[in-house]
Structure 1
Amino acid sequence: MTRLTAVMLLTALPFLALLGRTDDVGDAANLVGLGGALALWWQVVLGTRQISERLCRDRLRVVALHRWLGGCGAFLVLLHPLLETIANRQDPTYLVLLDFSWVESSYTSYGRVALLLFLALWLTSTLLRGAVRHRLWRHVHYVSYPLTGLVFLHAHGIGTFLAELPWLRAYWLALAGCLALLVAWRLAVPLWSHRYRLVARDRLSPTVTQYTLAPLGNRRARHPAPGQFCYLRLGPLSRAHPFSVVGHGEDGTLTFAVKRAGPFTARLDGLEPGAVLRLDGPYGRFTRQARLDDRPAVLIAGGIGITPFVDLVRRHAGPHMSLLHVVSSPAEAVFRDELRDRLGPRYTEERPLVPRARYFVCGSPGFVESTVGGLRAEGVGRDQLFTEHFDC
């Protein structure tokens, strides 16, 4: 995370150098707009896992930073047009009046279109998030790409600082070029992602199936560490879905245990051996701390949230490790017999409180939130908690 923070600060230095040049409201509006654009730029970068993973392997921290930037970006992006309205002594209609009749008004209107797109993105991600289905939210989220492009185009056309400072204009164009390359990269990644063939499928319970995938050709994903996950696609143009790796072989085979809980998992459940899938990964560092030393590790899983712990227990089970698997039905009690055999009495029926232990919690967002809340209430510190969740 330190490396990522350092890189982000470096990209902001050229704009921080402008603080001494803000003499009036118009200058402040320009600087705020540039800052908002940089926040949007970093949101797009962090939203591209193939890039952000190279800057920080802790996926949850990257997601948290992505959301934090969304709040900062929202403040700056919304403040910029308000300051421009004040600086130009205009009424509120100035914010939404589209005019493409001449060059300067066209560049201004690009910013207004970007503002409208941003409002749609912001509303569906905050105030309306609970009322909007995940699929619609995801599709609306895609507007961040044209939105950021319009913001860069808007500032390039009428930005005062960019017009006055050639070095800043060159830097701005470099950021825009990186954004274009990043979008192209994201569109092309599915076409050259690893191809794997389904070689076996085993029904673990009425709702959970185990899939074993073998690499096609010489290209294969690197061996995953315990607790890591991969993104699976049914085709090069289909949406990717993350699943924890429960095992891997020296020949490159990967095993996943998936609960049927939606359209994608239903299609996955209908595949027969021989089907070809696309794979991207592995990612994540969720259980890394449980393997660093012999400090007590308490694993708490809700339902299919057991999957990140399976390989960890198989490879690193010891007297320092205990596991609680909370299930709502017998169909979710997958891997119970194997894990109980490996852990013995440390496969617990109640949540253990262990001094100085690290707690690893995985399950649905509601399960993780309630479990962490209970642990915090019982005195477990934030630095002892490691969480991961999935959306059914």
Structure 2
Amino acid sequence: MRWLAALMALSVVPFLPLLGRADSVGDAANLVGLGGALALWWQVVLGTRALTGRLTADRLAVVNLHRWLGGCGAFLVLLHPLLETIAARRDLAYLWLVDFTWVESGYTSLGRIALLLFLALWLTSTLLRALVRHRAWRLVHYVSYPLVGLVLLHAWGVGSYLIETPWLRAYWLLLAGLLALLVGWRLAVPLWTGRYRLVAAERLSPTVVQYTLAPLGRPRRPRRPAPGQFCYLRLNALGRAHPFSVTRVGDDATLSFAVKDAGPFTARLSALRPGAVLRLDGPYGTFTRQARDADRPAVLVAGGIGVTPFVELVRRHAGPHMSLHHVVSTREEAVFADELRHHLGPRYRTGPPQPGPRARYFVCGSPGFVATTTGRLRARGVAGGQLHTEEFDC
């Protein structure tokens, strides 16, 4: 995470000399616009797991930083056109007027189109998130790439600081070039992800199947996920990737995933026969890393299939400091119950946890389960620093 923080701080340095030159509303609008563009640029970078996974192993910290930048970017992106409207002494219609009849108005219109795309992205990620299915949210999220491209073009054409400052213009070209390389890399990532063969499919319950995959050939560096990490599976190189927690890492480099039947992807996955080839990307995440430490009680809280990140963790690191609360509505949902009870004994329970002053809580399940569980723990005095969460979304 240090490397990532250092790069982000370094990216701000070229803008610092401009702070002493802002002595009007128009100048302030330019500075705010440049800041908003940089925040959006970093949001796209942080959203590219293939890149951030090489910079830091702490995926949760990257996701939280991505969300925080979304708030900062939203403030700056929305403030910029309002300041420009004030500086130009125009009414609010100036925010939406699209006009490509001449060069300057065309560059300005690119910014207005970017604003509309940003509003769609921001609304579906905040106010409307609970009403939008994950698939729809994901599709809307892809507009972030053309959005940032439009913002870079808009600033290039009408940003007074860029026009007047050659070295800043060169830096802007560098950001645009890096964005183009990033988009190309992201499109190419599925082509070099690991190829794995399905060797077994074992039904653990009426709704859950455990799939075991073996690498094709002899990989130079076999994937060895740590307990609690997850990988992205694709049925083919161009298919959509879905994240699943690793439930077993075999000595022969095989990986197992317990998958609940939910949606068209899992239906296609269940139709595969041994020998079928899948693509695998990862591992990612450090959700349960601190649960391995025996210095403080680790309370694992799982909602249904949310138990999967804890299975390998319990196998390797179960001790007196660790307990697991598996909240299920039916006995069929309690997959791995016998094995987990064998390792944990009476510390495997099916009810909600009782808060403790020093315990760390690791909560995994659906977004609703995670929100409800963490809300109850916070209401009973558990501090935010004691909570670690991971959500499953379909």
User: Please, what TM-score do these two structures have when normalized by structure 2?
Assistant: 0.95
Question: What are the equivalent positions in structure 2 for 1:303-382 lying under 5 Å apart?
Answer: 303-350=304-351, 351-382=353-384
RMSD over aligned Cα, in angstroms? 1.6
Counterpart Cα distance in 2 of 1:358 and 1:162: 49
Aligned match of 2:261? 260
Q: Which amino acid aligns with 1:86?
A: I
Q: Which amino acid aligns with 2:4?
A: L
The question of whether the paired residues in 2 share the 8 Å contact of 1:221 and 1:282 is answered with no
Aligned partner of residue 226 in structure 1, secondary structure: coil
Aligned match of 1:385? 387
Instruction: Give the superposition deviation at 1:221.
Output: 4.8
Instruction: Give the superposition deviation at 1:114.
Output: 1.1
Instruction: Give the superposition deviation at 1:57.
Output: 2.2
Instruction: Give the superposition deviation at 1:354.
Output: 4.2
Aligned match of 2:19? 19
| Gap regions ≥5 residues in structure 1 | none
Counterpart Cα distance in 1 of 2:52 and 2:68: 15
The question of whether the paired residues in 2 share the 8 Å contact of 1:368 and 1:387 is answered with yes
Distance 1:331 1:115, change over 3 A: same
Aligned match of 1:230? 231
| Gap regions ≥5 residues in structure 2 | none
Instruction: Give the superposition deviation at 1:175.
Output: 0.9
The question of whether the paired residues in 1 share the 8 Å contact of 2:356 and 2:382 is answered with no
Instruction: Give the superposition deviation at 1:304.
Output: 0.4
Instruction: Give the superposition deviation at 1:323.
Output: 1.1
Counterpart Cα distance in 2 of 1:349 and 1:188: 44
Counterpart Cα distance in 2 of 1:329 and 1:253: 30
Q: Which amino acid aligns with 2:176?
A: A
Instruction: Give the superposition deviation at 1:40.
Output: 0.6
Instruction: Give the superposition deviation at 1:243.
Output: 0.4
Counterpart Cα distance in 2 of 1:127 and 1:293: 40
Instruction: Give the superposition deviation at 1:7.
Output: 2.3
Aligned match of 1:184? 184
The question of whether the paired residues in 1 share the 8 Å contact of 2:201 and 2:209 is answered with yes
Counterpart Cα distance in 1 of 2:302 and 2:130: 25
- Which has the larger displacement, 367-376 or 240-249? 367-376
Q: Would you identify which runs of 4 or more consecutive aligned residues in structure 1 move more than 6 Å?
A: none
Counterpart Cα distance in 1 of 2:173 and 2:334: 54
- Which has the larger displacement, 381-390 or 96-105? 96-105
Instruction: Give the superposition deviation at 1:331.
Output: 1.7
Distance 1:363 1:163, change over 3 A: same
Aligned partner of residue 18 in structure 1, secondary structure: helix
Aligned match of 2:95? 95
Counterpart Cα distance in 2 of 1:131 and 1:112: 26
Counterpart Cα distance in 2 of 1:207 and 1:161: 59
User: Please, what TM-score do these two structures have when normalized by structure 1?
Assistant: 0.96
Counterpart Cα distance in 1 of 2:222 and 2:309: 18
Aligned partner of residue 239 in structure 1, secondary structure: coil
Aligned match of 2:193? 193
Q: Which amino acid aligns with 2:371?
A: E
- Which has the larger displacement, 145-154 or 342-351? 342-351
Instruction: Give the superposition deviation at 1:383.
Output: 1.8
Q: Which amino acid aligns with 1:59?
A: R
The question of whether the paired residues in 1 share the 8 Å contact of 2:355 and 2:381 is answered with no
- Which has the larger displacement, 289-298 or 17-26? 289-298
The question of whether the paired residues in 2 share the 8 Å contact of 1:99 and 1:105 is answered with yes
Instruction: Give the superposition deviation at 1:158.
Output: 1.8
- Which has the larger displacement, 105-114 or 90-99? 90-99
The question of whether the paired residues in 2 share the 8 Å contact of 1:194 and 1:221 is answered with no
Counterpart Cα distance in 2 of 1:2 and 1:223: 24
Aligned match of 2:46? 46
Distance 1:349 1:137, change over 3 A: closer
Aligned partner of residue 329 in structure 2, secondary structure: coil
The question of whether the paired residues in 2 share the 8 Å contact of 1:221 and 1:281 is answered with no
Aligned match of 2:79? 79
Aligned match of 1:117? 117
Q: Which amino acid aligns with 1:146?
A: P
Aligned partner of residue 31 in structure 1, secondary structure: helix
- Which has the larger displacement, 121-130 or 224-233? 121-130
The question of whether the paired residues in 2 share the 8 Å contact of 1:110 and 1:150 is answered with yes
Instruction: Give the superposition deviation at 1:388.
Output: 1.0
Q: Which amino acid aligns with 2:165?
A: L
Aligned partner of residue 362 in structure 2, secondary structure: strand
Aligned match of 1:108? 108
Aligned match of 1:210? 210
Counterpart Cα distance in 2 of 1:253 and 1:24: 63
1:148 and 2:125 aligned = no
The question of whether the paired residues in 1 share the 8 Å contact of 2:294 and 2:321 is answered with no
The question of whether the paired residues in 2 share the 8 Å contact of 1:299 and 1:324 is answered with yes
Counterpart Cα distance in 1 of 2:34 and 2:75: 12
Aligned partner of residue 85 in structure 2, secondary structure: helix
Q: Deviations over 1:184-203 (max 9, x none)?
A: 11100011111101000000
Distance 1:45 1:68, change over 3 A: same
The question of whether the paired residues in 2 share the 8 Å contact of 1:298 and 1:352 is answered with no
Instruction: Give the superposition deviation at 1:355.
Output: 4.4
The question of whether the paired residues in 1 share the 8 Å contact of 2:134 and 2:393 is answered with no
Aligned match of 2:137? 137
Distance 1:221 1:81, change over 3 A: farther
Q: Deviations over 1:300-328 (max 9, x none)?
A: 11100110000001111112211111111
